[in-house]
Amino acid sequence: MEQWVTMIQDLGFPILVSFYLLYRIESKLEAIHEVLISIKLMN
């Protein structure tokens, strides 16, 4: 049982940070996508 707790402590934080960063980056990627589409339509 102690190994499970240690594994969750070691892996849980990096997973949480990764999901947080993906969530934050998602809106920026959508904005870049929209700009690229508008540039493509202008040409």
Reported as a single tens digit per residue, the pLDDT across 1-43 is: 888 888 888 888 889 999 999 999 999 999 999 999 999 998 7
CB atoms within 10 A of CB 38: 9
pLDDT recorded at residue 43: 73
Q: How many domains does the chain have?
A: 1
Q: What is the pLDDT of residue 8?
A: 81
Q: Provide the residue count of the chain.
A: 43
Buried b (16+ CB within 10 A) or exposed e, 14-35: eeeeeeeeeeeeeeeeeeeeee
In which domain, by residue range, is 8 found? 1-43
Give ∠ CA 23-24-28 in degrees, rounded to 5: 115
Q: What is the pLDDT of residue 38?
A: 95
